[in-house]
Amino acid sequence: MAFLLKENIKIALDSVKSQALRAALTALIIAIGITALVGILTAIDAIKSSINSNFTSMGANTFTIRNREMSIRIGRGGKKPKKFRNITFDEAMRFKSEFAFPSVVSVSTMATMSARLAFESKKSNPNIQVFGSDENYLSASGYELEQGRNFSPREIYSGNNLVIIGKEIQTTMFKRGINPLDKEIRIGSGKYKVIGVLKTKGSSMGFGGDKICIVPIQNARQYFSQPNATFTINVISNNTQLMDIAVGEATGLFRKIRKVDLAADNNFEITKSDNLANMLIGNIEKVTLGATIIGFITLLGAAIGLMNIMLVSVTERTREIGVRKALGATRKTIQNQFLIESIVICQLGGILGIVLGIAIGNIMSIQLGVGFYVPWKWIFSGLVLCIAVGLLSGIIPARRAARLDPIESLRFE
């Protein structure tokens, strides 16, 4: 059996060599289908991996209090997130001082999303995010310092013109070899002294990233004052096992601070970091399903094209089939020969498609700031899928070849 399989594969490869152009075009059809499927799914899996790593860095013991529901909308569909009354600075700071559960509490606000930085003659685009924060913001948001130091409580209270910059700002604003620490940069019209540089975190999916500046929260209130400013509270529980208790305690305290009636719903939202990651991944699953369907439709078209070419091949090799039958080949042998030939062509196209798919998928993921990703699941799935497509495309031509009459086949011109 193994010898017969090996012989059929050898015959299939000889056939591919003898009809190199036709086989190459056929394999290319399969490759395009596999490229579409593997490429899209590789990029999506890389994005999922990035989401998990971003939220894992924040920790499973972190939750956030903000003034609006967390909801991910794709297109115009889906439920619009509910927005509540803004969380004031006094409310946030009162929560920080009164929350007695063993935890670390951070208060922050988005000062602006469109700041322009300047250092000497170098200027940035007006797309820098500036956050006002307290001394606990870095740990609560999953950031780490690469060099320099954090704000001191005194500097937070005084609102000094100090800034911690993201890694991307260091690389774009400062020439190689220049240490940004203690240098003075301009944020808008104000001058700020750089006291720290964050470790790279990646800017995928819009979560913070490396293109940010962090200033003391009092400084943000003074120089980036907005009439509708709202503040965000991040809480890191000291014990992951007591996370639900911490959320319950936080809910009760903040309801009291916000003066919510006993029978009324919360007018704020508490979100665990892992819940948000699951929400994002859940929405991406819908995209994955759509991409998979599109990929399978493309692959179905490729399978039909391969079947048509295999039928042409049967017609062209009718005389060869007659000779094989005259020499003692059975129907099953002829059928297996054409099935294996179809699978071999599919596998050649599939391998090319997988390589191209991984390349295209990773180009997309690198552009999104995710990095290189090897989708082992889709590599093996693609190879198995090629076998299935080869069988599907080859079964009708193989049966037609097996049923040919040997005498009529030998007469075929």
Rounded to 10°, the helix 2-18/20-58 angle is: 110
Quote the distance between the C-alpha of residue 313 and its chain's center. 43
In which element (H, E) is residue 61 found?
none
Distance CA 390, CA 114 (A): 54
pLDDT at 57: 53
Distance CA 274, CA 383 (A): 34
Can you give the residue ranges of every domain in the chain?
A: 2-54+280-411, 85-267
pLDDT at 4: 65
pLDDT at 182: 93
The tally of CA atoms less than 13 A away on the side-chain side of residue 214 is 28
pLDDT at 41: 79
Quote the distance between the C-alpha of residue 311 and its chain's center. 42
pLDDT at 163: 95
pLDDT tens, position by position, for the chain (413 residues)?
566 667 767 777 777 777 777 778 778 878 887 887 788 777 777 777 666 666 555 556 788 899 887 655 444 555 566 788 899 999 999 999 999 898 899 999 999 988 999 998 889 888 899 999 999 998 888 788 999 999 999 999 999 999 999 998 998 899 888 899 999 999 988 999 999 999 887 654 444 468 899 999 999 999 887 778 899 999 988 887 788 899 999 999 999 999 999 888 898 988 876 666 666 666 667 777 777 787 778 778 778 877 887 788 788 778 877 887 787 778 888 888 888 888 888 888 888 888 888 888 888 777 666 667 777 777 888 788 888 888 888 888 888 888 887 777 776 65
107-141 core/surface letters (b: 16 or more CB in 10 A; e: else): bbbbbbeebebebeeeebeeebbbbbbbbbbbbbb
Distance CA 74, CA 83 (A): 18
The residues, any chain, with a CB within 8 Å of residue 184's CB and separated by 6 or more, are 119, 191, 192, 193, 194
pLDDT at 204: 45
Q: At CB < 8 A and 24+ separation, what contacts does 2-6 make? A: 4/333, 4/336, 5/340
Distance CA 46, CA 43 (A): 5
Q: Where are the alpha helices (DSSP H) in 317-405?
A: 318-326, 331-367, 376-402
pLDDT at 152: 93
Amino acid at 185: I
Q: Within 10 A of 214 (CB to CB), how many other CB atoms are there?
A: 27
DSSP state of 218: H
